[in-house]
């Protein structure tokens, strides 16, 4: 699962275009040799569940997926030429036995983030998994 936040507040995809935003992220991962399983999130960040491309590091995968998606947003909405992702991301590996629970978690992101902020969520994940932020 790879949450990545926007540098400038909100993607602001229109509801009909949210699916296209998700397809862009998923398509980028697939083109890199990975397998996108699910992409979802509120308007200020995205959660992805995917099988990592075997020939790329997670850093390279995220860099290329971010470049692809930000280019798409700028081409799609010229008024969003300021659009950019933050330079960082959070990445967590998921065992096969947990894929379905992570899928459900990602599917419920909009509801979840009405209660928990993105920042609090990243800190909690980091503590839970022994990582650092």
Q: For residues 124 and 121, what is the distance between their CA atoms, to the nearest angstrom?
A: 5
Query: What number of CA atoms fall less than 13 Å from residue 117's CA on the CB side?
Result: 3
**Mean pLDDT in residue range 15-24:** 58
Answer with the residue of higher pLDDT: 130 or 49.
49
Q: Is 66 or 78 the better-scoring residue by pLDDT?
A: 66
Chain centre to alpha carbon of residue 96: 19
Position 71 scores a pLDDT of 80
Q: In order of start, what are the domains of the chain with their CATH numbers?
A: 4-129 (3.30.70.1290)
The CA-based angle 15-2-105, given to 5 degrees, is 65
Give the mean pLDDT of 107-124: 73
Per the model's pLDDT, the better-predicted residue between 115 and 132 turns out to be: 115
Q: What is the pLDDT of residues 79-103, one digit of tens each?
A: 767 777 777 888 888 899 999 999 9
Confidence of residue 107 (pLDDT cuts 50, 70, 90): confident
In angstroms, the Cα distances linking 97 to 80, 101, 104, 115 are: 40, 9, 13, 27
Q: Which residue has the higher pLDDT, 43 or 10?
A: 43
The confidence score (pLDDT) of residue 90 equals 81
Dist. CA 82–CA 74, nearest whole Å? 8
The two structure tokens encoding residue 110: 């909009």
pLDDT digits (tens, 9 = 90+) for 31-76: 999 999 998 877 667 888 999 999 999 999 988 888 887 787 778 7
Mean pLDDT lowest among 11-20, 36-45, 99-108: 11-20
* Whole-number pLDDT of residue 20: 63
* Contact indicator for 72, 25 with CB cutoff of 8 Å: no
């Amino acid at each position: 699962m790879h949450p990545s936040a926007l540098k400038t507040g909100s993607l602001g995809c229109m509801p009909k275009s949210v699916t296209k935003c998700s397809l862009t992220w998923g398509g980028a991962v697939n083109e890199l040799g990975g397998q996108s399983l699910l992409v979802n999130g509120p308007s200020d960040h995205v959660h992805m569940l995917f099988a990592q491309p075997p020939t790329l590091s997670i850093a390279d995968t995220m860099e290329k997926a971010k470049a692809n998606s930000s280019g798409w947003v700028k081409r799609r909405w010229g008024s969003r030429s300021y659009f950019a992702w933050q330079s960082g991301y959070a990445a967590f590996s998921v065992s096969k036995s947990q894929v379905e629970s992570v899928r459900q978690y990602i599917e419920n992101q909009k509801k979840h983030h009405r209660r928990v902020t993105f920042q609090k969520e990243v800190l909690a994940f980091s503590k839970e998994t022994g990582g650092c932020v």
